[in-house]
Amino acid sequence: MNQLPLTPNNWSEGLHQACRHLRMNWPAHWEGLPRILTLCQQSLRLEQTTDDDTIVLNQFAQWVAHDIEQQFAGNTRPTEPAYHNRLHTADVLIVLTTMLHILHATHAAHEDNTWSSALLAAAVAHDYKHPGGVNQFAFQIERASWQGVQHIAQTLPSIWRQRIESWILGTDAQSVHLNHQRIADQVFAWEAPWAQVLLNEADIYVSATSEFGPGLSDALAREWQCAEFAGHTRVATNAGRADFLHNAHFSSPTAKALGIQVQVEQQLTSLKQQD
C-alpha cells in the first residue's frame, strides 16, 4: 500500500477502498502495522511536526506497532484472534485517519496534530495482546492491554500517558454508552471526552458497515467459540447482528459526515424484513 486512498470529495468511499485493500493483502501479503501507521501519520502530515509532544507520541505509536508485528514474526508466532487481530487494529487506524482528516478541515485548531498523534497511538495500543473473548470483569482485557505497553509509554508526557490509558480503558464495551452521554449536545472540541468518542466510533465503524460488518460478525463468532463464550452461537445471526447495530453509538460530526448511521438504519430495516 503506497498511499491511503482518502478522497476528500467522498470520504466514505475512500475509507471503504482502504479497507478493501487491507483485506486483499491479509494475511498472506500483510505489509505490517508499522507501515500502515506510517501511511496514516504521513497522510495527516504528523511526521512533519516540530512539536515535542507530537514527536514523542508518534514514536510511541511506532514502537508499539513494531512490537505487535514482532510478536507474529518467525515460526513460533502465537495464534491471532479471528476478530481482535492486526487487521482490526489497521481498520481502526484507517477509520481514525479519515475522521481526523475531516476534523482538520472543519474544526482546525493549533493543537490538531498532537491530539491526532495521541489518538493514533491509543488506536495502535488499544487491543495490545488481546486474547480473544470477552471481559470476565470490567476493564479486564483493556487494562491488560495498557499494562502491556506501559513500559513503552514511560517516554510520554504524563498528561498524554494518562489520557491514552483512559481512552484504552474506555474501549470496554460497557463504558461506551456513558462515553457518548458525556458529550451529548456538546459542540466538538479537542478535549479528552470527545477523543474517547472518536476512538470508540473508530473501534466499531467497520463492523457497522454493510460491506464488511457481516464478515466481521462471523470472525467474532469464531473468536468467541475458541474462547468458549456462549455468545458465539448468536453474534453472527440476523438477531445478533441487529442487536449489535441497535447498540452501535455514533455521535461525532465525522460519523455524520461519513453517513454511517444511514448504513446502520438500512441494515436494520433489511434485517427486520428478513424476520
Average pLDDT, stretch 5-11? Answer: 70
Q: Is the pLDDT of residue 2 over 80?
A: no
* 154-207 pLDDT per residue, tens: 999 999 999 999 999 999 999 999 999 999 999 999 999 999 999 999 999 999
Mean pLDDT of 255-267: 96
Q: For 250, which DSSP code?
A: -
Please give the mean pLDDT across all residues of the chain: 94
Residue 7's pLDDT is 60
**Hey, how many other C-beta atoms are within 10 angstroms of the C-beta on 182?**
15
Question: Which one, of 244, 246, 218, 245, lies nearest residue 232 by Cα?
Answer: 218
What are the structural domains of the chain?
11-273 (1.10.1300.10)
The whole-angstrom separation of Cα 69 and Cα 148 is 14
What counts of helices (H) and strands (E) characterise the chain? Answer: 13, 0
Residue 4 pLDDT exceeds 80: no
pLDDT at 76: 66
Question: What per-residue confidence (pLDDT) applies to 179?
Answer: 98
